[in-house]
Chain A
Amino acid sequence: MDGIHDLGGMHGFGPVPIEQDEPVFHEPWEGRVWVMAGRVIGQTTIDRFRYAIEQMPASLYLTSSYYERWLWAIERLALEQGLLDGPAGGPSPSRPPLGGPLPEGSFKTGDQVRVANRVTDDHCRVPRYLRRQVGRIERVACAWPNPGQSAASGVYGEPELVYTVMFSGRTLFGPPADHVVSADLGESDLEEA
């Protein structure tokens, strides 16, 4: 979805707030939200949790701290899962095993690919700044279920191939950029260039 969470490349934000020797949690409630989030996310997919945060109104997102955004999301997910009203809560969706055999993919290292421009209000892990851009496959990153489907269904489906794709910073952002940007994009987010 074309949400406020999709911050990459935006102008308008100031210097990075760097705090020396910061504590893990600044307020006791932050730690409690962090632990509760683990329980709530365990009942669904990490993608559905991210998608829940993306539902925040843009102005609220920008004025909320990190753990305030988590709290907002798990209040809704816990309600959706029935955890506030009873002992419900089915088994945790099983996560895809690590190191399993890789599915077939359409691309190989060195291929030029174009990032698809698929904008719906579903959950999507293609940042706005990469849509329609052409990059080069650096390598296969991993196999993982499609994030949009995992967010919609709350369970992990069949893994698809995920590629690390390299882009020219200058092409994305213009001079004087001279860096490289990489992103990990699924088979279904890429087209032949």
Chain B
Amino acid sequence: MSEMTPAQRAEILESRLSEHGHTSPEDVDAAIARSESPSGDQPSTALGARVVARAWCDEEFRDRLLAHPVSTLSEFAPQSVPIAVLADTPTVHHVIVCTLCSCYPSGLLGNPPTWYKSFEYRSRVVREPRVVLAEFGTYIEPDVEIRVHDSTAEQRYLVLPMRPLGTDGWNEGRLASLVTRNSMIGTGHPRVPE
């Protein structure tokens, strides 16, 4: 087996699973297409950005999101595991990792980026988060405490970044355009308004 490429091995596995009705090529194609081009209510960065933008605009929603994250996020997409929402403050900056595998808030944000799954990120961010964040171009003031959350159990995490200054009066849609995937993981800040 070891001399075959992963593509060849995957093809053999899929053919065996299909033969016995456990998958079909059409179902696999469709699931890949949904993941690559998620619609509005499927997990994606855009869906997460909508949640964050609403929390920035709507105090009642923000309180509910922090106190009852599973039920509140289920209004956007079905949630199958516990999730906690971590609100950044002027003195605390949250970062998420999974050192043991690559647990990620996929139920909201979709598939994780390669860097999140990399040995480099998983090994280093718990030891030297300021150095790792700087590699993303993200600098955290020395008087801001960094909290690195290792997703060691079945609970997932989502970071609620701080609303950028200079966005008074912006509506949800416009605010959502500032929310990046990395700002919901903690390796980035939201975009700065033009």
A binding-site residues for B, Cβ under 8 Å: 5-19, 22-29, 31-36, 38-39, 46, 50, 53, 62, 65-68, 71, 74-75, 78, 83-89, 95, 98-99, 125-127, 129, 141-142, 144, 147, 162, 164, 166, 169, 172-173, 177-186
Contact = CB atoms under 8 A, between A and B. Distances in A.
6 contacts: A8-B126, A9-B127, A11-B123, A35-B31, A71-B13, A180-B146
A185 B153 contact: yes
B122 interface: yes
B152 A10 contact: no
Contacts of B147: 166, 179-182
B154 interface: yes
Interface string B114-128: 110111111110111
B165 interface: no
A26 B127 CA distance: 29
Contacts of B36: 23-25, 31
B167 to A, nearest CB: 25
Given A36-B10, A179-B146, 4 more contacts: A8-B126, A16-B115, A36-B17, A179-B145
Interface of B: 1, 6-7, 9-11, 13-14, 16-17, 20-23, 27-28, 31-32, 35-36, 70-71, 79-82, 84, 97, 99-102, 110-111, 113-115, 117-124, 126-130, 132, 135-136, 142, 145-155
Contacts of A34: 31-32, 35, 111
A141 B157 CA distance: 11
B8 to A, nearest CB: 8
Which residue, B10, B32, B111, B154, has most C-beta atoms of chain A within 10 A? B154
A78 B17 contact: yes
Contacts of B35: 24-25, 31, 34
Contact of B153 (A83, A129, A184): A184
A27 B31 CA distance: 15
A78 to B, nearest CB: 7
Contacts of B28: 31-32, 35-36
Contacts of B151: 184
A145 to B, nearest CB: 9
Contacts of B136: 16, 18
A35 B32 contact: yes
A19 B102 CA distance: 17
B17 A181 contact: no
A86 B119 CA distance: 37
Contacts of A180: 145-148
A68 B6 contact: yes
B82 A141 contact: yes
A15 B120 contact: yes
